[in-house]
Amino acid sequence: MAKWHQLTSAAVLNELRTDAASGLTESEAEFRLNQYGHNELAGTGTKSSWQILWEQLKALMVMILIVAATVSALLGDYKDAVAIGAIVVLNALLGFSQEYRAEKAIAALKKLAIPSVKVRRGGHVKEISASHLVPGDIVLLEAGNLLPADCRLLQSADLQTHEATLTGESEPIRKITLTIEAADVALGDRRNMAFLGTFITAGRGEGVVTETGMRTELGRIASLIQTVAPESTPLQRRLDHLGKILALAALALVLLIFALGLIRGEELKLLFLTAVSIGVAAVPEGLPAVVSIALTLGAQRMLRRNVLIRKLPAVETLGSITVICSDKTGTLTENRMTATILKTAERTLDVADHLQKNGTEKVEVVGQPDVALLVAGGALCNDAFLSSEEDSGSSMPIGDPTETALVAVATHFGLMKTDLERALERVAEIPFTSERKRMTTIHRLPSDLERIPAGLATALRGCRSAYVAFTKGAVDSLLAISTSVWVDGKLEFLSQTKLDQLADSNNALAKSGMRVLGIGFRCLDLLEDLSDSANERDLTFVGMVGMIDPPRPAVASAVARCKAAGIRPIVITGDHPLTAQYVAREVGIAGECPVLLGTALEHCSEAEIEGLVESTTIYARVSPEHKLKIVRALQNRGQIVAMTGDGVNDAPALRKADIGVAMGARGTDVAKETADMVLLDDNFATIVAAVEEGRVIYDNVRKFVRYILATNSGEIWLMLAAPFLGMPLPLLPLQILWMNLVTDGLPAVALGVEPAEEDTMRRPPRPPSESLFSRGLGAYVLWVGLLIAVLSLGTGYWYWRHSDSHWQTMLFTTLTLSQMAHVLAVRSENQSLFHIGILSNRALLAAVILTVLLQLALIYAPALQVLFRTAALSFRDLVLSIAISSVVFWAVEVEKWYCRHKAAGSI
């Protein structure tokens, strides 16, 4: 069979047994999905269960324990060998369980990140996940889309794709639909094909899917090289570095304890096992894993709040954000555009009043040709389409909210988009660009104008040409290329007076919070040069449509929280400055502050822009290139920037920002692929919720580090100090290993789900370079570790001096319970446990209770007494141990009380 690019469109459709007009039926698509499999590349970067388990067993500390168990077995101490082996297994299972859950969560997040695609099935256009595409599907392609599969193009309206990922070609490729006869054509020259992994930079088109998954051109490359390595976060790298330092310290500590034991004449085997146990205790090898789990669980929680995290380090960076640069439409507003005002040179029509008088019935505009021309132009120069609702038999517009609003208002006036397109066939178009701020479509005029809806036919009767071009866009953009205006059914010269009147009308509508679009047209005799410069000139300005997009209800409170958290919200929009100012004022971002236009940035130097960004809160008429300049300037001023974007051209600014935020509902695939996170509801309040979640995760990691290092240092101080008091080894190897398994396990991980503290969004952002040991954490680890050691060793020493046989059990129990008291106190760095509530983290409370019950089992269960060499404590001794352990809790609470009152100035 010939290659796809060599076949005609009809031959390709015949080969794939599909129809361009209706696409595949659902049953046939389901059959082919089972036949070809999902449209996915193999090797998603997730680990198998066996890989996860092997990584748990090959960890350095686990290998040391396995060696220790083997040595014990060779020396005939089978009890210790079995006990150490059991601890290794339990530790491996705990680590496996945690990482398996994290991998599953990451896989679920990746699956959600798969783009959706518009496909024609059973005669209806619908959106499906790209993973469900099959060969033979008819897909609709638009600027900003990622190509979901390899396709043979059937239609192309100035369709251009960027194929650098496959060919290395930096310039976009203009696509065609004609057959390419040569067989051996380089990939970059197959211009009638579009390939998975490339993206559309301009235009639109249709294609039939020829290959999916690993059978695509990208899939062939992926089969040669499968390199999807998990990305470590800066915090994980810092903790990994900390772990290496602690490992060196642990080695020195092991040698010291071993030497001291030899001097005291301790048994060699016992010394070896004790040294190994202390080495394991000294290194919190679970830190990076706990951080990974905390970040992944945080990403899952964010998903429940409509934030899809695409890059895990973003979760950590969110806590440092100082500036949020937000788009207006759909982010601060509801993105629910409704055309409310139609304004021509002859009349101003309030659509709401019109609806009230006429109901929802369609109203013909025979006597209002200016209105007919305005709404028809808006519906024709438009990429929204009508999708049939099979259940109701009705039609609803699907597409960009602004365009669907124009289609809806035209429908109300009796001008159905499908009827208009049937009568005025679109033959060419000049797509919208953010630089021109307009779009043009060119339509063939029928020889018999009676085929056109009556109101529009009256308006176009004077257009004695073969074609008519409709242009829609920003009013100022259209007025700049208009030479006449439509008045009383004819063209009038656009005088300066009329120009000023139209500009004033535009400003008045924009000031009242409306988005305003202008509509113009031009009659054409020939279709030769389809460039914007040739066709977007000498326009006749018809009028403008004012659309309202109300602010989202939750945004004002989110903005207030933002400001309280030391985060500065900024509005950056391509919309009219007065509209931007109105929305910013309504949601509380700014009052009557000046608006900086994008044109003002054109001629500014980098230094001048840096000066402007410090005082500017609202930017309007901004292009994506301007966004990049604003981000760069803010970063040069030391700000940590989150930037929202939805278009192809927003990708550079999204990549440059510290956190790129793409719009899930209206964002292009390219923007989503570039961004660090995707807002599934396009809501500003969701960004603020994500920032809060990022701060909570970082806080919880700090709590875990604070807890684990302080308690582990307590064990180390205890083991070092005991020989100097003339005591035997205070803890047996199994006791140390058990304690670290229990106290470093569930309670520590439960800290990762600690809820947000009251002041989470009332304090300034943390510097991104901030050390984990900043804000007194290093000093805290030192004094709390010493306190735990003094209390536990002091208890054990007193009992030992009084020749009590269970002195070691008292020391062991006091040390374990002290760590449980500490984990309860460390839940907040500032607030008392009684203030935040003991039940506010039920997972941690359950972990503490379980740990205490396990410790009691070690003391009172006969089998465990033999294994761990413990003795049953009397009720008095147990109560005394609990009381002494609680001193750690009260000491930390007193320190927090002191710090709170000192900060308030009452001390």
Residue 730 φ then ψ, to 5°:
-70, -25
Strand 173-174 and strand 150-162: pairing? antiparallel
CB atoms within 10 A of CB 683: 26
Instruction: Kindly give the residue spans of alpha helices, DSSP state H, lying in 684-760.
Output: 684-724, 733-743, 746-750
CA separation for the pair 682, 321 (Å, rounded):
18
CA distances to 249, 389, 400, 551 from 337, in Å: 63, 21, 9, 11
> Of 299, 283, 234, 235, whose CA–CA distance to 101 is shortest?
299
CA distances to 156, 427, 436, 483 from 533, in Å: 21, 18, 10, 15
CA separation for the pair 485, 345 (Å, rounded):
8
* Torsion sign over Cα 874, 876, 880, 883: positive
Question: Is 681 annotated in the active site?
Answer: no
**Cα Dmax for the chain:** 115
CA separation for the pair 400, 315 (Å, rounded):
30
> Of 783, 814, 779, whose CA–CA distance to 798 is shortest?
814
- The angle that helices 684-724 and 287-304 make with each other, rounded to 10 degrees, is 160
List the structure tokens of 716: 């180390």
Q: What is the DSSP string of 778-843?
A: HHHHHHHHHHHHHHHHHHHHHHHHTT-TTHHHHHHHHHHHHHHHHHHHTT-SSS-HHHH-TTS-HH
> Do residues 509 and 348 make contact, with C-beta atoms less than 8 angstroms apart?
no
DSSP annotation of 333 reads B
Residue type, 172: P
> Do residues 662 and 669 make contact, with C-beta atoms less than 8 angstroms apart?
no
CA separation for the pair 651, 645 (Å, rounded):
8
* Torsion sign over Cα 652, 657, 658, 662: negative
Residue type, 259: A
Residue type, 865: Q
Q: Rounded to an integer, what is the distance from CA 278 to the centroid of its chain? A: 41
> Of 340, 341, 306, whose CA–CA distance to 663 is shortest?
306
Q: How many residues does the chain have?
A: 907
List the structure tokens of 528: 């030769």
CB-based contacts of 741, cutoff 8 Å, min separation 6: 87, 90, 91, 94
CA distances to 254, 663, 735 from 68, in Å: 14, 54, 14
> Do residues 523 and 483 make contact, with C-beta atoms less than 8 angstroms apart?
no
Q: If DSSP codes are grouped into helix, strand and coil, which group holds residue 227?
A: coil
Q: If DSSP codes are grouped into helix, strand and coil, which group holds residue 443?
A: strand
CA separation for the pair 387, 686 (Å, rounded):
30
CB-based contacts of 123, cutoff 8 Å, min separation 6: 21, 22, 23
> Do residues 134 and 39 make contact, with C-beta atoms less than 8 angstroms apart?
yes
Residue type, 561: R
For the chain, how many helices (H) and strands (E)? 35, 26
- Any idea of the CA torsion for 418, 420, 424, 425, to the nearest 10 degrees? -10
> Do residues 53 and 65 make contact, with C-beta atoms less than 8 angstroms apart?
no
Residue that is written with structure tokens 């391509």 in the block:
574
Among the options 137, 327, 532, 669, which is catalytic?
Answer: 327
> Which residues are designated catalytic?
327
